[in-house]
Structure 1
Amino acid sequence: MCLAVPGQILTADGDDPLMRQGRVDFGGIVKVVNLAYVPEAMPGHYVLVHAGFAIAVIDEAEALKTLASLESLSEFDVGEREA
């Protein structure tokens, strides 16, 4: 199974379309991501990132909804299952 995580582009750098990179914020964790597959993406846009590559520009509301869902999963404690 593959998982793509939404993040917001903070900065975008590079003149070569294949080497263009951006700093992307994933709810407080910032990573450098390749932007070659989303040439239209600019700072402020939300993108789906898989394996270090932004693969799609997505709607802000959908990105925030997904981030909230992922955050709620981090609060789940496997040790607290009901018998």
Structure 2
Amino acid sequence: MNDSDPTSFIPTSHSYNGSECINATEHDRELGEFLKWLEDDIQSHPEKQIAVDSTLLARLDSLIGKLDVDINSPLLAEDE
């Protein structure tokens, strides 16, 4: 393990949809960039934040509550 890189112990590739591989370090970098953007946006625009209350949860449940999603299944061509 490389002490200067905390992600050095992560395997170098992950399977994605069974056909593509992405470098774990690249994935971590992209996730880090997204999280930094999200943090900056939250700090810059706190007025955009909304509370997740029972009314919103009920609305979300009415829209997608009965939908089963398998995040490990590849998308169909018409869904991409």
With the length of structure 1 as denominator, give the TM-score of the two structures: 0.29
Larger radius of gyration, structure 1 or 2?
2
Looking at secondary structure, tell me which structure has more helix per residue. 2
Looking at secondary structure, tell me which structure has more strand per residue. 1
With the length of structure 2 as denominator, give the TM-score of the two structures: 0.30
